[in-house]
Structure formats: structure tokens, C-alpha cells
Amino acid sequence: MSTWAVLVRPSANRVYADATPALLLAEAQVLAATALAGVLDDVRLETMGGLPYLVLRTRDVELDERTRAHLGLLSGGYALFELEDAGFGPALLPTEPADVRTLDEDLLTIQKYVGKTNELFTRLLLNLTVWASATPDGLLPAALSGRRRSTRVLDPMCGRGTTLHAALVHGCDADGLDVDGKAFDAQAAYLKTWLRTKRLKHTADVSPLKRDGERLGRRLAVELAADKDAWKEGRTQHLTVVEADTRRAADVFRAGSADVLVTDAPYGVQHGSHGRDGGRSRGPAELLAESLPGWRRLLRPGGAVGIAWNTHVAPREQALELLAAAGLEPLDDGPWQGFRHRVDAGIDRDVVVAVNPG
């Protein structure tokens, strides 16, 4: 067995920085119970040199590339060390990090606006959902995952696309849907500018979206490649964003098309006020109850749903009940209960995850 230490990533957000060690511990415990089951042992937090570390043991002496890659995905991890006893105390030996990103991470971090979800939390939510699914290696490079196709991530309340951008960074395809036309415009403009700035081969087109003669909104369709060789060989990624009510998701996307559904539910503001009911607004719990049946139809068997949830709006138990009522199987034991944390006076955020049994 070998012992390893992951330095906890600092955060400019003071509140999230305080929560990061405990969130990283729970995230690593989920990883140990899913993608790296039988590989990781004795996951815990320790302070060394006045800094917090996640300490874990592996059953093998060396880290294979797959294990290294999964540890590299940890949202709250900053640097990986092998931990040895030097006789006078622990010695931290730097370990080469795994390359787990297809695109530059600034796709996720450059965009700034009021209300944007913390990028580290977005990565955590994406990680948890993929690890819970039937394809827990879905964020790894193809050479390590053995997958013949890209993981497809759906965010049915995508806003300006933070979750979608995190998915693209890790080589996934991404679909998003949001009723806010201004958010749609902002995301389209941002992506086009970023792709041009990076000089990546791509196409990006906005077109009207209609179903049975009814205009639902607009569609942004993007195809891109990480480099020129990938473009020539057809190894491209796809992003589709639709301006439409999330309750129409099953009318927009193909059934069984998503491997995972990841979304940051509204924290209390009204959402979906332009739906089919003449404009009546909904709170997050009511919106979730109405949307989940359609969302589930979009998931493949073994797919997973991960939702960020404000417990000030409705208790965690209610969100889990809504997931179960839609035919999903909530995960609510052990480390899955370790993600509740304060964002501000009005937001006490938690994560609920469920699996589609098929």
C-alpha cells in the first residue's frame, strides 16, 4: 500500500474556501465508492505545515494512469504528492499530474457575471454525477476510459453554460436548455469569441427551433475540435443550446440521448415563467416536479441525475422524493450526504444524485 496527499485548492471565494476541505473529503469518498472502488482506502483530512490535505491510501504501490486521472479530476484538489515517513516527519514528494482536459480550462473560468456558480462546485457536481452513472470513467480521456463515443452531458437549466463548458473541457458533448433569451445570447457570443481567440476549428450557428409548426425558440449548434488534426480526422465535440422552457426538454432532444443530467436548480428566483401555462411562474420544487418526467426520458439506462439544491427553498428530503416519484433511484447514504454547505444568507446548498434504473 502507498499513501498519497492532495493539497486542497485555495479559493478566492472565502465562503467556498472554508467549505472546500469537507467537500473534497466527501467527493473523494464518493470516488472511492464508485469509479475507484477497491483502489482507495482510508480517505481522510489532515493538516500539514498549516495547510489542509486530503490523505488517502491506495492498495497498489504505484498509481496507474487511470487512478491518477481520476484523482486529477477532484474539484478541490490542487497538487498531488506521495507521502513518505522521512524519520523526522512526513515528506511530500511531488507527483506528475495526469492530463485530464481536452480544452483549456479558461473556457470555464474567463466568463464572469453576477450569479455565476463557482467553477469548482460545477466541476464537483459534474464529477459526482458521472461517477454515479453506469459509465464512471466518462470524464477520462478515451485512451483511459476505453469508450468509443464521447459522454453526453445535458443541463436542462443551463443559464450561460457553466456546466456545459466544464463538460467540453473534459472532452464531452454537451446539450443545454434555458428559457432566458438574454442568457442564450450571452453564451452564444462568449463561445464564438472564445473559439476565435483560441483559433480552434469550429462551426457555430444560431437558427430558429420549431416543433409541429410551433416556434419554441432558438438553437445554437457548435462543432469544434481541440486541434487541426482532430478536425481533419472527424474527432470533434458538439454543443447544442436551446432557448426554450425546460418542461419542453423531451420535445427538443432525443429520448435516451444523455449519459448524465447535471443542473444547478434555481435558488429561489422564479424560473420558467414563459411556459405553456400562460406565463404563471413556478418555484424550484414545482418546476422540478413538472420537469423530471421529461428529463428522465432523455437519460440512457444507467444514466444519472445530479442537482444542486437550495435547502432554504425546500428540504433535501423533498428533492429526493421528487426524484423517486419520477422513477429514479436516489443515492442518500454515506458520502452522498456530505455536500451541504452555506453559500450566503439565502442559500444553503446541497447536492442530490439519483440513477436511472432503465
What range defines the domain where residue 155 resides? Answer: 106-355
Each residue's pLDDT tens digit in the chain (358 positions)?
799 999 999 876 777 888 999 999 999 999 999 999 999 988 999 999 999 999 999 988 789 999 999 999 999 999 999 999 766 778 999 998 888 999 999 999 999 988 888 999 999 999 999 999 999 999 998 878 777 789 999 999 999 999 999 999 999 999 999 999 999 999 999 999 999 999 999 999 999 998 877 888 999 999 999 999 999 999 999 999 999 999 999 999 999 999 999 999 887 543 343 443 444 456 889 999 999 999 999 999 999 999 999 999 999 999 999 999 999 999 999 999 999 999 988 899 999 999 999 7
pTM: 0.93
The verdict on 175 and 225 lying in the same domain is yes
Distance from C-alpha of 193 to C-alpha of 141, rounded to nearest angstrom: 26
Q: Confirm whether 99 is domain-assigned.
A: no
Closest by CA to 223, choosing from 241, 198, 201, 251, is: 201
Answer with the one of 74, 94, 114 that is the final residue of a domain: 94
Q: How many domains does the chain have?
A: 2
238 close to 223: Cβ distance less than 8 angstroms? yes
The verdict on 78 and 127 lying in the same domain is no
CATH for 306: 3.40.50.150
The verdict on 29 and 167 lying in the same domain is no
Q: Confirm whether 101 is domain-assigned.
A: no
The verdict on 190 and 211 lying in the same domain is yes
The verdict on 222 and 152 lying in the same domain is yes
The verdict on 137 and 255 lying in the same domain is yes
The verdict on 24 and 166 lying in the same domain is no
138 close to 150: Cβ distance less than 8 angstroms? no
Answer with the one of 94, 127, 154 that is the final residue of a domain: 94
Written as nine digits, the cell of 15 is: 465562503
Sequence-separated (6 or more) residues with CB below 8 Å from residue 16: 118, 120, 121, 341, 343
Q: Confirm whether 309 is domain-assigned.
A: yes
The verdict on 248 and 155 lying in the same domain is yes
Helix (H) or strand (E) holding 81: strand 77-85
The verdict on 117 and 21 lying in the same domain is no
The verdict on 48 and 194 lying in the same domain is no
CATH for 67: 3.30.70
Q: Confirm whether 300 is domain-assigned.
A: yes
Q: Confirm whether 100 is domain-assigned.
A: no
The verdict on 318 and 177 lying in the same domain is yes
The verdict on 299 and 166 lying in the same domain is yes
Answer with the one of 61, 94, 127 that is the final residue of a domain: 94
Backbone angles phi, psi at 328, to 5 degrees: -95, 160
Query: 3-state DSSP call for residue 256?
Result: coil
